[in-house]
A and B are shown apart, each in its own frame.
Chain A
């Protein structure tokens, strides 16, 4: 293999390649296109993957909502169509009985699901917004970004049932002028005055709450609306490594048991399982990555075969030249090496150019999609993929180069010279 490091070998190869410019360019374009498609596709798939990750970052991925509906089957002496109501003690029961549950946040809400939004006034300005009674643990399930100087509801707010409120970005825009700091000011919600303790920023990506939502301590809500132990719905986060679909089933079975509902009644409790939705989305992204890999490699393969094809034609064209070389003392091994090295060299050059071009296009797409609402972030191709592609190309380039090389040496020099 010493010839690989011989400067003369490379000069000869480079000479032959650079002097046959058209052939070289056409050959390079084939593989360049292949690796470009490969890089661009797998980068884009990765970008989408990252985009989804970013979208789901603001919420616990293994989370779900559970709410009560009405029964659809008679059971235990109750007739069908009984309205069900989730209670605070249900939360405690779930926490105790289902160990897979990491966090559970009960919430009571006004203004969602068809109920009247709450009329809110500040001075001359007013609006109607969603009002939630929450526990601080809620932020473990859905991150709340609070603007500087503010905070979310804490345990003391709950204990003392303080009249404090966290408002949404749009609520701030509608009730305050631009340079006012809402924190510390008072607004009237319904008929009660609340002190604003924070403004929450609308999360990019998946968010459980809109920017018109307002949050008050759960205990304050209880007093305000006299809602007792009723809760609207539960936000539940399971541990990362558990089967969230099974947890969802367990919770529902438990709730049916507590509320004396037929175990076969599928409509008594409603739920939305984000974990399931997430894994479906991620499955889609994985499928896309796999597909881009397959398409990319197939395109590279096509490109390399193209190189082999063109070299085969060029060997035919160069029969005489190769004959002359052999008359001048080139051994069959030297001729073969030269053809194979030309193939590998062309493949590599094309591959590297393709990678650069692909990376450029990915960067371009990234800069275009940066500011628009599209789940596409930081499209990258992992280095092992790139190296893998290069290795595949070198191997294929060698193998495919062997065909024309073998052809080149199978022609005896005298036949080659005779050919006019």
Chain B
């Protein structure tokens, strides 16, 4: 699903150049649930941003579902993001004046899906995350865990190839974190490919594979025995 070869990325800060990613090689197969771990500054978020086409790579190749991702202009990147990727953010990033259902339907709007179908799909995915009754509530009326579940439903709604989650439990207490992870595991069980950036070992243990980043290189890449989050819920 994802092939990355010899990926380099550096940021220019005035005269200094900060080399963040120093040659990453890594592949993700369909249906994997990968945790990308590392302390802050290890380059894990940068990697995720490049994977998410929110940032550009300097060197190396990135292939997503057989499509080479390079030299994208903003319009092309937007279309690829819409088609291939679903985002889950640490701070949820729901649009605060839109109801839960409208938030979930938003990626479908940019896919030019008709309104009726959008509403049906939004409701379907909200049901899947267990928030059907909250469909018409504004984000401000939801708890943190509920917001993240809405965000997951939104990421799912576009039926992307890969879900990218940047610290999805970072703003949640541990009980809620496990609920969210339980949901992510269930989505993964349905065959969806998911990448999670986290620095919490217990969250990483709930994935099927852990990629450890340190100072811009992968120091460890191992398959693990998945801990089911449902045990803690």
Q: Write the nearest CB–CB distance from B113 to chain A, whole angstroms.
A: 9
CB neighbours of A417 from chain B (8 A): 54, 89, 93
Q: State whether B158 touches A420 (Cβ < 8 A).
A: no
Stretch at the interface among B29-37, B80-88, B201-209: B80-88
Q: State whether B78 touches A332 (Cβ < 8 A).
A: yes
Q: Write the nearest CB–CB distance from B108 to chain A, whole angstroms.
A: 9
Q: State whether A16 touches B97 (Cβ < 8 A).
A: yes
B70-96, CB < 8 A from A: 74-75, 78-79, 81-83, 87, 89, 91, 93-96
Q: State whether A329 touches B83 (Cβ < 8 A).
A: yes
A328/B110 contact (C-beta < 8 A), A320-B93, A409-B74, A417-B54 known: yes
A334 nearest in chain B by CB position: B110
Q: State whether B98 touches A19 (Cβ < 8 A).
A: yes
A19/B97 contact (C-beta < 8 A), A325-B106, A327-B52, A327-B54 known: yes
Q: State whether B109 touches A331 (Cβ < 8 A).
A: no
Does A99 sit within 8 A of B, measured CB to CB? no
Q: State whether B93 touches A330 (Cβ < 8 A).
A: no
Does B102 sit within 8 A of A, measured CB to CB? yes
CB neighbours of A333 from chain B (8 A): 75
CB neighbours of B83 from chain A (8 A): 329
CB neighbours of A20 from chain B (8 A): 97
Q: Write the nearest CB–CB distance from A21 to chain B, whole angstroms.
A: 9
Does A15 sit within 8 A of B, measured CB to CB? yes
Q: State whether B79 touches A15 (Cβ < 8 A).
A: no
Q: State whether A329 touches B95 (Cβ < 8 A).
A: no
Does A321 sit within 8 A of B, measured CB to CB? yes
Interchain CA distance A15-B115 in the complex, whole Å: 13
A327/B81 contact (C-beta < 8 A), A7-B115, A12-B109, A409-B74 known: yes
Does B107 sit within 8 A of A, measured CB to CB? yes
Does A414 sit within 8 A of B, measured CB to CB? yes
Does A326 sit within 8 A of B, measured CB to CB? yes
Does A96 sit within 8 A of B, measured CB to CB? no
Interchain CA distance A325-B95 in the complex, whole Å: 9
Does B175 sit within 8 A of A, measured CB to CB? no
For chain A, which range describes its interface: under 10, 10 to 19, 20 to 34, or 35 or more residues? 20 to 34
Interchain CA distance A340-B66 in the complex, whole Å: 37
Does B111 sit within 8 A of A, measured CB to CB? yes
Interchain CA distance A323-B83 in the complex, whole Å: 17
Q: Write the nearest CB–CB distance from B217 to chain A, whole angstroms.
A: 22
Q: State whether A328 touches B102 (Cβ < 8 A).
A: no
Q: Write the nearest CB–CB distance from A24 to chain B, whole angstroms.
A: 11
Does B154 sit within 8 A of A, measured CB to CB? yes
Does B59 sit within 8 A of A, measured CB to CB? no
Interchain CA distance A331-B109 in the complex, whole Å: 12
A329/B89 contact (C-beta < 8 A), A8-B115, A334-B110, A414-B55 known: no
Q: State whether B91 touches A328 (Cβ < 8 A).
A: no
CB neighbours of B63 from chain A (8 A): none
Q: Write the nearest CB–CB distance from B184 to chain A, whole angstroms.
A: 18
CB neighbours of B52 from chain A (8 A): 327
CB neighbours of B74 from chain A (8 A): 326, 331-332, 409, 412
- Which residue of the partner chain, among A321, A326, A412, A414, contacts B95 with CB atoms under 8 Å? A321
Interface centre among A11, A329, A409 (most CB of B within 10 A): A329
Does B49 sit within 8 A of A, measured CB to CB? yes
Does A413 sit within 8 A of B, measured CB to CB? yes
Q: State whether A331 touches B97 (Cβ < 8 A).
A: no
Q: Write the nearest CB–CB distance from A208 to chain B, whole angstroms.
A: 70
A327-375, CB < 8 A from B: 327-334
Interface string of A6-27 (1 = CB under 8 A from B): 0110011001100110000000
Told that A19-B97, A328-B110, A329-B81 touch, could you supply 15 new A-B pairs with CB distance under 8 A? A8-B112, A321-B96, A324-B94, A325-B110, A326-B74, A328-B158, A329-B78, A329-B82, A331-B78, A334-B78, A409-B74, A412-B54, A414-B54, A417-B54, A417-B93
Closest 7 A-B residue pairs measured CB to CB?
A329-B82, A19-B97, A329-B110, A414-B54, A331-B78, A328-B107, A331-B75
Pull 22 A–B residue pairs with CB atoms less than 8 Å apart, ordered by A: A15-B97, A16-B97, A20-B97, A320-B93, A324-B95, A325-B106, A326-B74, A327-B52, A327-B54, A328-B81, A328-B82, A329-B82, A329-B107, A329-B158, A330-B78, A330-B110, A331-B74, A331-B78, A331-B79, A331-B110, A334-B110, A414-B55
